[in-house]
Amino acid sequence: MTSEELEKLFQEAVKRVNDHTEPFPADFLLRLYAYYKKATNDYGRPNSKKPIINAFKTNALFQVQDISEDEAKKEYIALVKNYFLYRK
């Protein structure tokens, strides 16, 4: 798969998540958050008003620190695909 193809699939997965109107499970959101931040090379600090949420987000980022941006995109795509595959 080329970088362009991967980027297209990643953007489609992001759109699918953004277009979804029902709430996602918290653990799923944390994984999406971490992979998205890694995939987009966005290393800004979590900025929730609740310190506990920032702690969870920071922990999720630590868990993906050793993977590449392309691997993060692949993981994000797989998460989204699997989530919607097993929904109604």
Per residue in 6-32, pLDDT (tens digit) is: 999 999 999 999 999 999 999 999 999
The number of folded domains in the chain is 1
Give the pLDDT band of residue 88 (cuts 50, 70, 90): low
How far apart, in whole angstroms, are the C-alpha atoms of residue 33 and residue 35? 6
Give the number of C-alpha atoms closer than 13 A to the C-alpha of residue 82, restricted to the C-beta side. Answer: 9
Q: Is the pTM of this model over 0.75?
A: yes
pLDDT for res 47: 78
- Indicate which CATH number applies to the domain containing 24: 1.20.80.10
Q: Domain residues for 21?
A: 3-85
Give the pLDDT band of residue 5 (cuts 50, 70, 90): very high
